[in-house]
Amino acid sequence: YSPEDGYYKTSPFDPVTVPNVPLHEYVWRDFKKWERRTAAVCVITDRQYTFAQMRDACAAFAVRLQTKFNLHKPDVLAICLPNLPEYPIATLGAIEAGLTVTTVNPVYTPDEIARQLTFSGAKFLVGTVSGFATLSQASKLVGRQIPIAVVRTSAEEVLPEGAIDFSELTSTQNVRYDDLKVPKEASAEDMVFLPFSSGTTGLPKGVMLSHNNISSNCEQVQASLPMDLLGPQNTLPGVLPFFHIYGLTVVMLSKLGQGCRLATMPCFKPDDFMRSLDKYQGSILNLVPPIALFMINHPKLSQETAPHLKVVMSGAAPIGQHDVERFLNKFPNTVFKQGYGMTEASPVVLLTPEGNKVYASTGVLPASTEAKIVPLDGNDVKGVGPRTTGELCVRGPQVMAGYLNNDEANQVTFYPGNWLRSGDVAFYDEDGLFYITDRMKELIKVKGFQVPPAELEAVLRDHPKILEAAVFGIPHELNGEAPRAIVVLRPGEKASAEEISAYVAERVAHYKKLEGGVIFVDEVPKNPTGKILRRELKEKFSD
Ligand code: AYL
């Protein structure tokens, strides 16, 4: 295959070299240049760390994980934190100790957390004081004792009984740095992160991302953006959750590596968000489409109340051209960019190029990334030329090695030649701009978060009155999509839609609720092998 034949598309940028060092070393590569500046500050408490303090706290945490808890490669540490200035310390400290980090959504229920702890085999947990009870419950469900360290966000917060004080593990007093052991046979190909994604089908799976995957993606993004826009003078409002690959790679690690300051907020509250833009002078803002809509509609927000804002980057779900235009009318001094990516690609796969005005496009391939469009009829995996739609497939140093312990999923997720299938429908034009036109995979995206239908279907099937269920997404004005269920009751049973919705709401994180409603049917449309016909569902039951 060659790009000249139109089989696949290459990046317009010069290739990057893969850093080939452990991820913490990559992030701290230049930290001496800005060690006295603030690395992260909490917009609620003003609690902050300089780069030097953060670097030292990470090393101290690494030493204690190894010496006090005997954690070493290939052990997994789970982080279940909202966005706090301590998030990067927990992450980079664990990585320095040679561990793999799995990031857990802090709004998960004990069941959801327990599932991730079991799949990942996590041996240590980092959480908050307020989240401790949930984490203990999750640990009980897993059936083994998992030590839980908690971050105290103020002096008033008392350490719960049975919890370990995170600040004692990161304290630089009496640390013997020489005790830190670099794992034998450590390689930048080792797994550094294990986030979860449902990919093109089924339940969430552990995505094996290596040191090189993440540092390559940081390099790829930086090589594709003008440096005068970035650099250490910038502040990023840390509003996108760091547990999700978008917040983790693009906001937290990439920008700390460039000496930028993170102004973190534990959850999205309008006042905190606005403070990150005025008091804390947010200048680069990564967001998801619902936050862009919030900014368009909020009467108190304008370019005047966000005077430092100059770059806005939207990703994780589609945004309409009309909304981008409305945004730019209200924030005329900003550059609006889009990104497209997926957890399986660390995540960035497409980025808006300089001077772009085509807001319907999610951009061009960043450095060292290749893509092809494979016709949907599926028999021919060769790529097609411009303006023909098909499944977007990508290749590059940011693409995962595969899902953990799941050969079956890995088989269907890659085409020969290491081409990762995205499950998204796209085309590119003569300028190399890509357009995402549809999603063929079953995944539902609510506010940019993954909602795997299979997960909700499993919850529904556990309901004593339910025989069968199928879940799909319907359009939602603010959140992008909302999950809707069709349900077949067991013979003779009666139930209300409210009852079913409430049952699900009790068992899942709030954004997975059946906001799109419940419809009772006699039969779920399936193909002869028993696979749910989701296209048909969407067509039949979306009104
Ligand atoms: P996951 N437009 C349309 N759909 C999108 C877009 C976009 N700009 N970005 C992501 N998606 C959908 O794993 C698409 O269906 O990662 C894709 O397969 O939670 C799926 O979301 C992947 O969902 C960045 C940095 C985007 C991060 C990301 C998103 C990572 C989301 C751009 O610069």
Quick: pLDDT tens for 485-501: 999 999 999 999 999 99
Centre of ligand 1 from the C-alpha of residue 449, in Å? 9
Centre of ligand 1 from the C-alpha of residue 354, in Å? 20
Residue 22 pLDDT greater than 50, yes or no? yes
Centre of ligand 1 from the C-alpha of residue 200, in Å? 13
Please give the number of the atom of ligand 1 that sits closest to the Cα of 244: 19
The mean pLDDT of 311-316, rounded to a whole number, is 96
Is the minimum distance from the CB of 317 to ligand 1 under 6 angstroms? yes
Q: How confident is the model at residue 543 (pLDDT cuts 50, 70, 90)?
A: confident
Centre of ligand 1 from the C-alpha of residue 342, in Å? 5
Quick: pLDDT tens for 376-412: 886 677 899 899 999 999 999 999 999 999 999 999 9
Quick: pLDDT tens for 332-349: 999 999 999 999 999 999
Is the minimum distance from the CB of 319 to ligand 1 under 6 angstroms? no
Residue owning tokens 């862009």: 292
The mean pLDDT of 267-275, rounded to a whole number, is 97
Q: Which of 175-179, 433-437, 502-506 has the lowest mean pLDDT?
A: 175-179
Q: Residue 392: what pLDDT? A: 97
Nearest CA-CA partner of 129 in 104, 151, 100, 156? 151
How much of the chain, in percent, has pLDDT values that exceed 90? 92
Centre of ligand 1 from the C-alpha of residue 85, in Å? 25
Q: Which of 42-51, 226-235, 356-365 has the lowest mean pLDDT?
A: 226-235
Residue 507 pLDDT greater than 50, yes or no? yes
Query: What phi and psi values does residue 302 have, to the nearest 5 degrees?
Result: -160, 180
Centre of ligand 1 from the C-alpha of residue 351, in Å? 11
Residue 4 pLDDT greater than 90, yes or no? no
Q: How many angstroms separate the first and last alpha carbons of the chain?
A: 44
The mean pLDDT of 433-453, rounded to a whole number, is 97
Is the minimum distance from the CB of 399 to ligand 1 under 6 angstroms? no
> Which amino acid would we find at residue 135?
L
Q: Residue 1: what pLDDT? A: 47
Quick: pLDDT tens for 412-427: 999 988 999 999 999 9
CA atoms of 6 and 410, how far apart (whole Å): 26
Residue 55 pLDDT greater than 80, yes or no? yes
Residue-wise burial string across 358-377, b where 16 or more C-beta atoms lie within 10 A, e elsewhere? ebebbbbbbbbbbbbbbeee
Residue 402 contacts residue 413 (beta carbons within 8 Å): yes
Q: Residue 49: what pLDDT? A: 98
The protein residue whose alpha carbon is closest to atom 21 in ligand 1 is 316
Mutate to test the pocket of ligand 1, among 340, 352, 393 (most ligand atoms within 8 A of CB): 340
The protein residue whose alpha carbon is closest to atom 33 in ligand 1 is 339
Residue 474 β-bridge partners = 482
Is the minimum distance from the CB of 338 to ligand 1 under 6 angstroms? yes
Q: Residue 469: what pLDDT? A: 97
- Mean pLDDT, the chain, rounded, equals 95
Is the minimum distance from the CB of 94 to ligand 1 under 6 angstroms? no
- 3-state DSSP assignment of residue 179: helix
Centre of ligand 1 from the C-alpha of residue 38, in Å? 30
Centre of ligand 1 from the C-alpha of residue 82, in Å? 21
Overall residue count recorded for the chain in this entry? 543
Mutate to test the pocket of ligand 1, among 252, 342, 445, 512 (most ligand atoms within 8 A of CB): 342
Centre of ligand 1 from the C-alpha of residue 361, in Å? 13
The mean pLDDT of 150-159, rounded to a whole number, is 95
- As given in the structure block, the two tokens for residue 256 are 């700390």
Is the minimum distance from the CB of 142 to ligand 1 under 6 angstroms? no
Centre of ligand 1 from the C-alpha of residue 394, in Å? 13
Please give the number of the atom of ligand 1 that sits closest to the Cα of 448: 19
Is the minimum distance from the CB of 318 to ligand 1 under 6 angstroms? yes
Residue 191 pLDDT greater than 70, yes or no? yes
Is the minimum distance from the CB of 363 to ligand 1 under 6 angstroms? no
Is the minimum distance from the CB of 250 to ligand 1 under 6 angstroms? yes
Residue 2 pLDDT greater than 90, yes or no? no
Residue owning tokens 């995402």: 436
Nearest CA-CA partner of 476 in 440, 520, 533, 517? 517
What pTM, to 2 d.p., does this model score?
0.97
Edge to edge, the sheet with strand 348-351 lists: 284-287, 311-314, 335-341, 348-351
Is the minimum distance from the CB of 109 to ligand 1 under 6 angstroms? no
Is the minimum distance from the CB of 353 to ligand 1 under 6 angstroms? no
- As given in the structure block, the two tokens for residue 356 are 């772009």
Is the minimum distance from the CB of 343 to ligand 1 under 6 angstroms? yes
CA atoms of 136 and 349, how far apart (whole Å): 37
Please give the number of the atom of ligand 1 that sits closest to the Cα of 423: 18
Is the minimum distance from the CB of 316 to ligand 1 under 6 angstroms? yes
Q: How confident is the model at residue 6 (pLDDT cuts 50, 70, 90)?
A: low
Centre of ligand 1 from the C-alpha of residue 315, in Å? 6
The mean pLDDT of 71-85, rounded to a whole number, is 98
Is the minimum distance from the CB of 254 to ligand 1 under 6 angstroms? no
Please give the number of the atom of ligand 1 that sits closest to the Cα of 343: 13
